[in-house]
Amino acid sequence: MKKKNNILEIEHLSVTYGPIKAVKKVNLEVNQGECVALIGANGAGKTSLLKAILGIQKAETGNIFFLGKDITRKATDKIVSSGLCLIPEGHIIFSSMTLLENLQLGAYHNPTDFDENLKRVFNYFPILRERSGQIAGTLSGGEQQMLSMGRALMSKPKLILVDEPSLGLAPKIVTDIFDIILELNREGYSILLAEQNAKKALESSNRCYVMKTGEMAISGFSREIIDDPKIRQAYLGGS
């Protein structure tokens, strides 16, 4: 049995694609109410790790515990219904459907308090309310990212995995998106945030892990790491 405040715990997780080892024996944990950053360059294995947590990518070895239960080899729909969700990189949405239909699909496992959840999502993203009848493919990149986040929130998750929310967006919108992530965290959502933009990610997180070529290089409190010039030089490209 795992400790109570431990919402997600990963032990010795490895993920491989054929001959390529994308994630090598990684350990990671997220406590209740934390925002944890997962930092690393392109190809460091962040997305593979997140996909493995959600059961989209098979875990080669290791175990993943969510709320004390082993979810390592569960089907994705079971994992999602237990309260985990992933906001994928590159704002992946159902572009031929309306915004509202996208949000309805997000509530697949949580249809009972649909109206209440919809109201909350519209409070975070007022723009989605204005355009709820619009076809999602006609939205701008930033709005699509917001829709993708709103869709994830419709399932009322206990832990949100966010993959590269800043990818391909204008700086102003990136700031907005990070503000919303911070706000979600303040309201009690536990968040695991994978991000290339180390500065932004460190500023908005309590703790962080740095991945390098599939391995966990360092981990610690974000505030300490952001102040450590050596670590910044070695892993964060001096930014």
Partner 1 sequence: MEIFIAQLISGLALGSIYVLLVTGFNLMLLVAKIIQFAYPQIVVISMYTCWGVLQLTDNKFLVILAGISISIILSILSEPIFRKITSTQGVDINVSFIASMGMAMIIMDIMSHSINYGFPVAFPSEWVGGNLLRFGLITVSEGQLYALIGGIIAVLLFSFLLYRTNQGRFFRAIAENRFAACLVGIPIVKTSIFSYFIVGVLGGFSAILFSMLIGSASPWLGEFVALKMLAVSIVAGLGNLRGGLVCGLLLGIIEAMAVGYISGSWSNVIAFVVMLVVILIKPQGLFGSKI
Query: For residues 105 and 217, which CB has a smaller minimum distance to partner 1 in the complex?
Result: 105
Q: Is 77 in the site for partner 1 (CB under 8 A)?
A: yes
Q: Which of 13, 44, 59, 93 binds partner 1 (CB under 8 A)?
A: 93
Gap between the Cα atoms of 69 and 67, Å rounded: 6
Q: Is 80 in the site for partner 1 (CB under 8 A)?
A: yes
Gap between the Cα atoms of 62 and 188, Å rounded: 28
Q: Which of 63, 81, 132, 206 binds partner 1 (CB under 8 A)?
A: 81
Q: Is 184 in the site for partner 1 (CB under 8 A)?
A: no
CA distances from 195 to 51, 69, 74, 192, 239 (A): 14, 27, 26, 10, 14
Query: For residues 36 and 80, which CB has a smaller minimum distance to partner 1 in the complex?
Result: 80
Query: What tokens appear for 222 in the block?
Result: 């974000």
Q: Is 234 in the site for partner 1 (CB under 8 A)?
A: no
First to last CA, the chain: 40
* Pair 67, 158: CB distance under 8 Å: yes
Gap between the Cα atoms of 81 and 86, Å rounded: 12
Query: For residues 40 and 150, which CB has a smaller minimum distance to partner 1 in the complex?
Result: 150
Q: From 40-48, 88-96, 194-202, 215-223, give the range in contact with partner 1 by CB under 8 A.
A: 88-96
Q: Given the rule CB under 8 A, which residues bind partner 1?
A: 54, 56, 75-77, 79-81, 85-86, 88, 92-97, 101, 104-106, 108-109, 151-152, 155
